[in-house]
């Protein structure tokens, strides 16, 4: 099973090895998709956890128990592709290369590479991208 979460850390929690404990104790693989974390400031991680349903549930419970605010990423990025003019402006801000241009100059969106950072929502001149909401896990 594979699930994506937004994890919000307080400044005190940033100093603890919370994420590494998930891998060791709960036998889950952790893919950090996006991070904005700094010592003394706290921050946010967008992660994809991979493991059994039971281990993922235990992981989320552990995170909540230690004070991490956990929100499940319910939907990813909404892209109104049918009205796209294939200008490529969004590709300039897409570091993971989820948005790219193919050989015929058509925009290609690979949802499996998207980290839901939301930069494309501002880069698109037609505002064809929208980041969906999270829900509390």
Q: Where are the domains of the chain?
A: 2-73, 77-132
Query: Could you tell me which residues are beta bridge partners of residue 34?
Result: 46
- Please tell me the CATH code under which domain 2-73 is placed: 3.30.70.260
Q: How confident is the model at residue 67 (pLDDT cuts 50, 70, 90)?
A: very high
- Please tell me the CATH code under which domain 77-132 is placed: 3.30.70.20
Q: Is residue 43's pLDDT more than 90?
A: no
Given a contact cutoff of 8 angstroms between Cβ atoms, the answer to whether 29 and 50 are in contact is yes
pLDDT digits 0-9 by tens, 102-126? 999 999 999 888 888 889 999 999 9
* Residue carrying structure tokens 């956890």: 49
Note the pLDDT of residue 136. 53
Q: Is residue 73's pLDDT more than 80?
A: no
Note the pLDDT of residue 85. 97
Mean pLDDT of 26-52: 89
Highest-pLDDT range among 2-11, 15-24, 100-109: 100-109
Domains 2-73 and 77-132 in one fold:
yes
The angle formed by the CA atoms of residues 83, 87 and 88, to the nearest 5 degrees, is 110
Distances (CA, A) of 111 to 4, 17, 71, 75, 80: 13, 30, 20, 11, 13
């Amino acid at each position: 099973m594979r699930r994506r979460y937004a994890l919000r850390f307080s400044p005190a929690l940033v100093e603890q090895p919370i994420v590494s404990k998930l891998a060791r104790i709960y036998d889950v693989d952790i893919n950090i998709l996006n991070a904005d974390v700094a010592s003394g400031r706290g921050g946010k991680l967008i992660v994809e956890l991979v493991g059994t349903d039971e281990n993922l549930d235990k992981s989320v419970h552990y995170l909540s128990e230690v004070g991490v605010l956990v929100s499940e990423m319910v939907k990813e990025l909404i892209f109104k592709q049918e009205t796209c003019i294939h200008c490529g402006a969004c590709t300039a801000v897409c570091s993971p290369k989820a948005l790219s241009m193919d050989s015929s100059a058509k925009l290609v969106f690979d949802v499996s590479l998207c980290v839901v950072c939301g930069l494309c929502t501002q880069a698109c001149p037609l505002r064809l991208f929208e980041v969906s909401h999270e829900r509390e896990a």
